Amino acid sequence: MKRLLLRPLAWLGALALLPACWAVAGALAETAPGVFLHAGGGAPGFLLAPGGWALLGGALAYLAWHRLRPPEFLYTFAHEFTHLAFGLLMGKRVSRFEVARGSGQVALSGTNPLITLAPYFFPLPAALALAAGALLGLVVQAPWTGWLTAFVVGLALAFHVAMTWRVLRSSQPDIARGGRLFSWTVIALAGGVFVGGAALAAAGGVAALAAFAGRLAGGLAGAYLWSGRELVIGLGFIAEWLGAAR
């Protein structure tokens, strides 16, 4: 009974997040050319910038690895550890953490949609690679540190995306728990922010991330203003139709 009552709320939540998904996609599309493409004559050209080449090289290196043998145990560990990390961040207690080839389990004192879906939208290896690259850049101030960071982040992001897509093609209790529509909407929204943000930060640094954040803030405001206006218009039409029907 409780599940039947929560399902309509999950559908409404998914619909409420759709404008945010559009805003994230728009902010990424506006920011990416200036970060990944080589600037020629003050405007982005058609060739990748050095950070873009490094990121692409890392992604291709992982795809070759994935083609030979997908690293299932590594993904399972990262998946369960992400559940664990988000649980701890939200004040939950951990009673069990188990990882085996192809399966794993984390027992927490409680959960919520963010903890449940975190491994699908948050690229933990890429976040760790970015943090390590930032520390390396502070110690060794040389251009190659940025290119190395971009390469490793590209590898980690490709690992996250490829393995996440692989497991999502099978039945996942995490997805069924919140409903497919709600779960996929949250993954698309948060994944765009974290995966896209990590790629921009690796290739373009803090400035690229700041530009993305600024465009995203404006895009969110615009998307929800437009959605609200269209909703009011739609409700007005429905009210007129109901009045005429009487």
Q: What is the DSSP letter of 49?
A: P
Residue 42: pLDDT over 70 = no
Interval 167-174 mean pLDDT:
82
DSSP 206: H
Contact 126, 203 (CB under 8 A): no
User: pLDDT value at position 105?
Assistant: 82
Count Cβ atoms below 10 Å from residue 136 Cβ, excluding itself: 16
**% residues pLDDT > 70 (the chain):** 90
Q: Where are the domains of the chain?
A: 2-37+46-69+112-232
**Amino acid at the residue 105:** Q
pLDDT, tens digit, 9 for 90 and up, residues 92-104: 888 888 887 667 7
| Higher-pLDDT residue of 50, 44 | 50
Q: At what angle do helices 2-36 and 50-68 cross, to 10 degrees?
A: 130
User: 10 Å Cβ neighbour count for 234?
Assistant: 10
Evaluate if pTM is beyond 0.85.
Answer: yes
User: What dihedral angle (degrees, nearest 10) is formed by the CA atoms of 129, 182, 100, 169?
Assistant: -100
127-162 pLDDT, tens digit per residue, is: 999 999 999 888 888 888 889 999 999 999 999 999
Are 27 and 181 within 8 A, CB to CB?
no
Which range among 154-158, 172-176, 233-237, 239-243 shows the weakest confidence by mean pLDDT?
239-243
